[in-house]
A = this chain, B = another copy of it.
Amino acid sequence: MAYLSNKKEEADRIVLSFLPEESGYDKTLLKAMNYSVKVGGKRLRPILLLSFARMYGATEADAAPFMAAMEFIHTYSLVHDDLPAMDNDMLRRGNPTTHAAFGEAMGILAGDGLLSEAFTIISHQVLKQVALDQIKGIRAAKAFQIIAEKAGINGMVGGQSLDVESDKDKRDVTEDELEYIYENKTSALLEAAMMAGASLGGADEADIELIRKAGSALGKAFQIRDDILDITGDEKTLGKSVGQDEKNQKSTYASIHGIEESEKTVKGLTDEACGYIKQLSGVKNEEEREFVIELFGSLTERNN
Chain A contact residues, CB within 8 Å of chain B: 20, 24-26, 28-30, 33, 80, 83-86, 103-109, 111-113, 115-117, 119-120, 122-124, 126-127, 130-131, 133-134, 137-138, 141-142, 144-145, 147-149, 151-154, 157-162, 164-165, 168, 177, 180, 184
Contact = CB atoms under 8 A, between A and B. Distances in A.
Given A86-B105, A153-B30, A153-B116, A25 B177 contact: yes
Contact of A29 (B24, B83, B126, B161): B161
A251 to B, nearest CB: 15
Given A108-B108, A153-B113, A148 B119 contact: yes
Contacts of A83: 85, 108
A138 B127 contact: yes
A119 B117 contact: no
Which secondary structure characterizes the binding site on chain A? helix
Contacts of A159: 26
A120 B161 contact: no
Given A26-B158, A26-B161, A130 B124 contact: no
21 contacts: A25-B158, A25-B177, A29-B158, A83-B108, A85-B104, A85-B108, A86-B105, A105-B168, A109-B157, A112-B160, A113-B153, A113-B158, A116-B148, A117-B152, A120-B149, A123-B141, A123-B149, A127-B144, A130-B130, A130-B134, A130-B141
Nearest to A83: B108
A253 to B, nearest CB: 17
Tell which of A105, A111, A115, A148 has the most Cβ of chain B within 10 Å: A105
Contacts of A161: 26, 28-29, 106, 109, 113
Given A80-B108, A145-B127, A149-B123, A29 B137 contact: no
A187 to B, nearest CB: 14
A85 B105 contact: yes
Contact of A115 (B30, B112, B149, B160): B112
A165 to B, nearest CB: 5
A144 B168 contact: no
Contacts of A85: 83-85, 103-105, 107-108
Nearest to A111: B112
Given A83-B85, A85-B107, 13 more contacts: A25-B162, A29-B157, A85-B105, A108-B108, A112-B115, A119-B119, A119-B148, A120-B153, A123-B144, A123-B149, A130-B137, A130-B141, A133-B134
A164 B119 contact: no
B109 A164 contact: yes
